[in-house]
Structure 1
Amino acid sequence: MLAVLQVILLVLDIVWWLVIVSAILSWLFAFNVVNARNPVVDSIGNFLYRATEPLYRPIRRVLPDLGGIDLSPLVVLLLIFFIQQVIVLYLIPAVYRAGV
């Protein structure tokens, strides 16, 4: 059971970094720092969009429209942090106590 929780924590860490890289790349696109027509940059951006958009979509439905400001990555990061803390503070000690 402990191995499963550690794998979940690892997956959450990977998603955390995907969200951060996606947000930074979107800023670089917005300020024309990187060329979106470059095939490598376009493929990275497409991958990040496909990886993070399913996380953002339900949150964007709930959040109010703030114009050009998208707070959904921040909400996703907060949710990931909350889930990680629940696992570390409550589930892992419970697994140790249970001896599973």
Structure 2
Amino acid sequence: MLALINIVAMIANAIIFLVIIQFVIGLLFAFNVVSPSNQFLMQVYRSINSLLDPVLRPIRKILPDTGAIDFSPIVLILALNALIFILSDVATASL
């Protein structure tokens, strides 16, 4: 049981890491630090978007439209951190 909880926590941490990378690359593009014509970084950004879009789309449907600001990554990070916290609580309680 503990191994399964650790695997789920590792996957959740990997998703959080991908959300942060997506955010940083998006900022680099938005503030013209890196040109969107940079093939490598644009491909990395598209790949991360294609991985995270199925997870973020249901959150975006629930949240109200806030214009240009997308709060769904923040909600996803908070939900995954809550999941990790709950799972670690379950793991310590079962010992």
**Which of the five TM-score ranges fits, normalised by the shorter chain?**
over 0.9
| Runs (5+) with no aligned partner, structure 2 | none
| Runs (5+) with no aligned partner, structure 1 | none
**More off after superposition, 57-66 vs 35-44:** 35-44
Match in the other structure for 1:80: 80
- Distance (Å, rounded) in 2 between the aligned partners of 1:32 and 1:58: 30
Look up the equivalent residue of 1:88 and give its one-letter code: S
Q: What's the TM-score, normalizing by structure 2? A: 0.92
What is the percentage of aligned positions where both structures have the same residue? 32
Give per-residue Cα distances to partners, 1:25-55, cap 9 Å, x unaligned: 1111112211211221111111111111112
Give the CA deviation at 1:8.
Answer: 0.7
**Aligned residues, how many?**
95
* Aligned pairs for 1:19-58 within 5 A: 19-58=19-58
Aligned CA RMSD, in angstroms, stands at: 1.1
- Distance (Å, rounded) in 2 between the aligned partners of 1:61 and 1:42: 26
- Distance (Å, rounded) in 2 between the aligned partners of 1:11 and 1:79: 13
Structure with max Cα Rg: 1
Structure 1 runs (4+) greater than 6 angstroms displaced: none
